[in-house]
Structure 1
């Protein structure tokens, strides 16, 4: 018997940022960006705009096979009401062993939720395409080729500074010590943006500068680096993320195909 891809599976995106007009027009919002990267035939994907106070209730949580936490302009180390409520939700998901993938802010808030320390990066803003070094264990965790580095788009000024002993650092860069971590079998954080294209990065630089969230000098340096950089390894990151979110069912398909 061959199990059809994604039959009956349900996932939710916990949206932690406002959509820009550009991303809404070109990609259907950030929810659309994540669905395009991660969704497979037969699956159902929902969105909860948690930054606006929209959360799944306890009964809904059990209906999902996995959750994705997006980036945000907010600080994962702040105590805004919605961030405190998100931490409560993450503690619940952890207790239920639900698979949770965190991206950028999502990576940081997951680090905080499991008992780590999050704060401003000592090296300042990281904006652009950066090479990330993968640990030797990563090839055992994911069905990607045995590569030692992957390029990814970065856009952050905060980072995970410390993790509890049970967490495993599985990637780092020359700018950020914890680029990626795994906690038990159900939580994973990625500091970079596997979902971003260079055009999204370019428009995000303009957007944050117009809102005075980054200085002009930082924006100009980022634009120069953007123009010189190649596209990131998006397909490899896509595969890695899907392997994590749907690892159990993918293994089942492989067995059924034998």
Structure 2
């Protein structure tokens, strides 16, 4: 039993947001949302841990070597903020980078990963991006191992977005591999161990709908923007299956060769 446990792949979710009442009620918390999206529970070959970094809960630095990969979640906080936990998170990400550990950043995670490694992030001049967005894959980028087995890299994919901050400048050595008409850096990589995605490949549409409700109640967004976002959600779907396979391939070093994308 001990040998089997030792052979399991081990991943950590660095949760930078607190669970909403809706997500707790429907999914049992964001941890379950992420594991459902990026985990392979049916194989019983991996273990996921969670650290609520937003509340100052971080992994022991002596335990970092035991993990195969890390995922940094989205957050309502600014990635360029100087809250103690954000600064500590930046230090952790710098350490993981120096260890060549795989780190996947989602939304805020994408931005704070960029900041920690020397890039620049800030508020978008064009305001909020909420709803479905077509993300264009850069042509002729240097191949990433987690995308190499695509018979043909899709020219564009739809993803759920919910952000008003963005990456202004990627770190030295980083490569932008996706952009949109709203955001210049939708996805970036550094080698095969750093991947940032501005959108939310883990979100089902109902989570975004609830988030739109909460932002409206807080007067954070205008009704017109909310209505446009909801209208798109009713008539189209994000390419979540493909996005999640990309994330799994990155974290775990494999790809589903039978995955096909209908454009």
Q: Is the 8 A contact 2:144 2:191 kept in 1?
A: no
Give the Cα–Cα distance (whole angstroms) in 1 for the partners of residues 17 and 196 of structure 2.
Answer: 17
Give the Cα–Cα distance (whole angstroms) in 1 for the partners of residues 12 and 137 of structure 2.
Answer: 27
Corresponding position of 1:211:
218
Corresponding position of 1:116:
119
| 1:16 is aligned to 2:23 | no
Rate the CA distance shift 1:130–1:182 in 2: closer, same or farther, 3 A: same
Q: Is the 8 A contact 1:152 1:193 kept in 2?
A: yes
Give the Cα–Cα distance (whole angstroms) in 1 for the partners of residues 194 and 99 of structure 2.
Answer: 11
Structure 1 residue runs without a partner (length 5+): none
Q: Is the 8 A contact 1:27 1:33 kept in 2?
A: yes
Aligned pair partner of 1:168 in 165, 168, 175? 175
Rate the CA distance shift 1:183–1:139 in 2: closer, same or farther, 3 A: closer
| CA displacement at 1:7 relative to structure 2 | 4.7
| CA displacement at 1:29 relative to structure 2 | 1.2
Q: Does the residue aligned with 1:62 lie in a helix, a strand or coil?
A: helix
Q: Does the residue aligned with 1:128 lie in a helix, a strand or coil?
A: strand
| CA displacement at 1:138 relative to structure 2 | 7.5
Runs of 4+ in 1 over 6 A off after TM superposition: none
| 1:192 is aligned to 2:195 | no
Corresponding position of 2:130:
127
- TM-score, normalization: structure 2? 0.88
Q: Is the 8 A contact 1:131 1:149 kept in 2?
A: yes
Q: Does the residue aligned with 1:194 lie in a helix, a strand or coil?
A: coil
Offset from partner CA, 1:7-66 (integer Å, 9 cap, x none)? 510000000011112111222211101100111121000000000110001112111110
Give the Cα–Cα distance (whole angstroms) in 2 for the partners of residues 227 and 199 of structure 1.
Answer: 11
> CA RMSD of the aligned region, Å?
2.1
Aligned pair partner of 1:105 in 108, 113, 119? 108
Corresponding position of 2:260:
none
**Residue range with higher mean Cα deviation, 212-221 or 99-108:** 212-221
Aligned pair partner of 1:148 in 140, 155, 164? 155
Q: Is the 8 A contact 2:37 2:244 kept in 1?
A: yes
Q: Is the 8 A contact 1:101 1:187 kept in 2?
A: yes
- TM-score, normalization: structure 1? 0.89
